[in-house]
Structure 1
């Protein structure tokens, strides 16, 4: 992979001789202490609308106050985020019926079902099932999987990811790199826009990038939403791979390769000659969650801001696995929140930057990037004066890393700032090798990008100085399989290696320090879908 170095001719018109320099290090002990505390059972998995939220946001407020960091929202450290909690109980079975009889899919084992409608009951009653390929309407690609059918009252069945996945065709969407059209959030949004009553996403581990266990835990229990005037489905659901086989074997498409059909640009929706019935009873609770916002004012250009973000929330107390029901979220994302506090501590030890530094810990990321979405719609700091976002999410590595992997590489000049900082750590940068998993759309930087703010989302994740590429891959695979969104994502001070986490946070601090003392605004590259929002 070293042929990636350098990937970019540094074109920032800056010189090392004129850079602000600092001997300040982001403190590794600070990082570990905060991860250990935030990922302890005391914080009950840090779920919004619970005692865990109260403990978490108050802890962050108190720690920022100890550092001498100012409130970021006027005289408050909090930005209130009104949400609705929908605690849905689906029917025991999802019933699939057709001319040859019916069969049941069992809740959690075979299907999950939720709704974003804040009403006490929703249901699909013998709703006609129609296979809609990837469920995408993308005029720029000449693609419309919904065309030719009146979708009122019907339920679409769609594949996860987008047609470029594993296609070996770089001209098909973005090839193996997932576009937003591949995300489950988009698929629910588009089906609702089309007027469908429901949507069933077919789970497939490789294109989804996570197993059925993640769907089972992530789409069961209470769900948080931000109320909106946008169209909504009655039922949003997933079915397992085994259930998908059963469904298509009972349908009018029996024996057909539905995945190959969906790759065709001329694909048209195919009625399955099956109906679906399922219901959800909801308990509705309206409440206010909180983003936590802290500010270190600049010395000269106080109205220009660099925002560091990390989500403080996780899944709280849920389904017990191996006797443990607290989803502690040590890596995801006590690591990121600890990183904000450690970066704030480092900035307080430097001479103040010319621009202001914002530390933003957001709520509701695990429920669909809700806290950052609310901030993007209700920004405290002028987006046109916000220089950049540096997002910190799920940092973990078994040692110091040679690489800095940039998710969303090629979008903006933030790549160049990251590369310069990486070179000073004797590291090289690479694009995300798992771009097909759509990580660019799965963390809070995405909402900053949507309003035109250049964003950096990166970490060392490919090759270690003392750990091989193969062992790094095993480390990552073990996390995804055994810890991601599971109660086992816990912190052990004796066995958890933090040198790579500290290394990444040091790089993020160094990038912010450079930007904080410049008058340059990083730009989106030509071809980025976010450039227009900035301009």
Structure 2
């Protein structure tokens, strides 16, 4: 559909670029350095929502948006209030599993983590029947129902992460093989368990299928948890949610007279049905509840001809705040995740403002609560500055390439929408190549703020760090990206480094700038590809427009 328009649209970009941009990058590297260093400094205390770190982050972003030349983007204001609930599990007991003749206790932190997104002050799970629910999926369009024929109301469901066919190695299978669908995400599994009436849902952690190690789970889930604080929010959770290690799951299965490997194999077969394990689960903890209002910061460059239509850039400003101590450092600064992405948002705002108003409005949304479950973007999706049906598409910036220039340009979930066709020529113009998501099993497309918009029908791109380095090739790229994931992601070690090479970030942001300009100065309405789970939602929302 878009092919006849692409060549003319890309040519249009040259005229839309700021003066001198053809010979010098329109993206200010100095902005990337300044904003990242500031937001990731200890003075911002890790930017947790509802803290002094939020106050500083919001004030700083308003200052930068105003200086960039944007206008307030939310009903004449810079901030959009986002109601949130924070729950903190305290005095956690062991997860006790009993049956006639014996019991098993899984210790908090080392073997299990749990919390509640509900507001009861004390949580008590007592003698709840344990049911192995396989992958915990109900997908009628794929002929799959792990809960068929069983009532799990009031029970504890034990669930595997990822999709049933994730180990296939290819892209074939009822759930796309190695490429994770939303059914593979922990958020879906908890939501489905709640719809089934479960009292508790416990996920079995696995490094390969989850995409991150147990330390990430422990540090993330042992701290206060955020959830939506507004009526009608989607994504209700069971009263108790949690994870257990792979080793603990093996012990649990053995206590039930089962083998975890055999259970996993059975769960991956069509026709699998959930089954009781003959165990009962008990768990107690106190639940401290705090209600507060956090903030999205929203700026806008109003359109000159069609201001009621929009293109969206977004990046989450929040991080984890203070987390588990690493030596003497307790602050999770979140430099790459996502002070850098927020810096990219500011740099794009500067560049678009210098180019002058486009025909459509361009929105810049710095969102809160991404680390707590995409809360700020979910609120924006429910309360957009411009209706989502009139939002042509957008880009989410969650981390930037800070290790140097790359020969490739990588997207999470490539091929989902026609936005890819627009990006391709822009990537080629830099002498680079489009690259497939190198970790399709991690389900990255379902794990950041753009997903809140995509699930409501808006075509969104989620760019990743390229891995084929101009200096050192793929080996150097994998070492850099893998090293970050293994030792700094969601840890105090994610700190600003003045020695970072921003050439890769500048390359990528040039593409995001040009794509945004192409959409904002054009009349295109990119569509989801046939088979994409968001296509029908978009078609319904666009009826009559």
Give how far 1:248 is off: 1.0
- Structure 1 residues 478 and 256 mapped into 2: Cα distance closer, same or farther (>3 Å)? closer
Structure 2: runs of 5 or more not aligned: 540-545
> Tell me, what secondary structure is at the counterpart of 1:257?
helix
Once residues 330 and 384 of structure 1 are traced to their aligned partners in structure 2, the CA distance between those partners, rounded to angstroms, is: 34
Give how far 1:256 is off: 6.1
Once residues 259 and 525 of structure 2 are traced to their aligned partners in structure 1, the CA distance between those partners, rounded to angstroms, is: 56
- Structure 1 residues 460 and 88 mapped into 2: Cα distance closer, same or farther (>3 Å)? closer
Q: Does 1:97 align with 2:102?
A: no
Match of 2:333 among 318, 328, 333: 328
Q: Does 1:338 align with 2:336?
A: no
Match of 2:5 among 9, 12, 18: 12
Q: Give CA-to-partner distance per residue, 1:479-527, whole Å, 9 cap, x none.
A: 111011001000111x212111111111101111121211222122222
Give how far 1:254 is off: 4.1
- Structure 1 residues 256 and 330 mapped into 2: Cα distance closer, same or farther (>3 Å)? closer
State whether residues 10 and 420 of structure 1, in contact with CA within 8 Å, keep that contact through their aligned partners in structure 2: no
Q: Which residue of 2 aligns with 1:400?
A: 405
Once residues 445 and 147 of structure 1 are traced to their aligned partners in structure 2, the CA distance between those partners, rounded to angstroms, is: 32
State whether residues 90 and 113 of structure 1, in contact with CA within 8 Å, keep that contact through their aligned partners in structure 2: no
Instruction: Give TM-score scaled by structure 1 length.
Output: 0.95
1:89-488 equivalences under 5 Å are 89-168=90-169, 170-227=172-229, 232-254=237-259, 257-488=262-493
Once residues 399 and 254 of structure 1 are traced to their aligned partners in structure 2, the CA distance between those partners, rounded to angstroms, is: 47
Q: Which residue of 1 aligns with 2:512?
A: 508
> Tell me, what secondary structure is at the counterpart of 2:537?
helix
Give how far 1:239 is off: 0.2
Q: Give CA-to-partner distance per residue, 1:423-462, whole Å, 9 cap, x none.
A: 1111111221211100000011111111111111113422
> Tell me, what secondary structure is at the counterpart of 1:319?
strand
Instruction: Give TM-score scaled by structure 2 length.
Output: 0.94
Structure 1: runs of 5 or more not aligned: 1-7
Once residues 296 and 255 of structure 1 are traced to their aligned partners in structure 2, the CA distance between those partners, rounded to angstroms, is: 55
Q: Give CA-to-partner distance per residue, 1:50-91, whole Å, 9 cap, x none.
A: 111111011101111222211001221000001111122152
Q: For this pair of structures, how many residues does the alignment match? A: 527
Once residues 57 and 460 of structure 1 are traced to their aligned partners in structure 2, the CA distance between those partners, rounded to angstroms, is: 26
State whether residues 43 and 55 of structure 1, in contact with CA within 8 Å, keep that contact through their aligned partners in structure 2: yes
Once residues 381 and 78 of structure 2 are traced to their aligned partners in structure 1, the CA distance between those partners, rounded to angstroms, is: 17
CA root-mean-square deviation: 1.7
Q: Give CA-to-partner distance per residue, 1:275-296, whole Å, 9 cap, x none.
A: 1111221111111000000011
Which range moves more in the overlay, 364-373 or 351-360? 351-360
Once residues 390 and 156 of structure 2 are traced to their aligned partners in structure 1, the CA distance between those partners, rounded to angstroms, is: 44
> Tell me, what secondary structure is at the counterpart of 1:366?
coil
Q: Which residue of 1 aligns with 2:503?
A: 499
Q: Give CA-to-partner distance per residue, 1:154-197, whole Å, 9 cap, x none.
A: 10101000112122460231111001010000010011111111
State whether residues 123 and 235 of structure 1, in contact with CA within 8 Å, keep that contact through their aligned partners in structure 2: no
Once residues 305 and 14 of structure 1 are traced to their aligned partners in structure 2, the CA distance between those partners, rounded to angstroms, is: 22
State whether residues 12 and 416 of structure 1, in contact with CA within 8 Å, keep that contact through their aligned partners in structure 2: no
> Tell me, what secondary structure is at the counterpart of 1:492?
coil
Q: Which residue of 2 aligns with 1:532?
A: 536
State whether residues 323 and 491 of structure 2, in contact with CA within 8 Å, keep that contact through their aligned partners in structure 1: no
Which range moves more in the overlay, 251-260 or 185-194? 251-260
> Tell me, what secondary structure is at the counterpart of 2:166?
coil
Give how far 1:150 is off: 1.5
Once residues 174 and 377 of structure 1 are traced to their aligned partners in structure 2, the CA distance between those partners, rounded to angstroms, is: 29
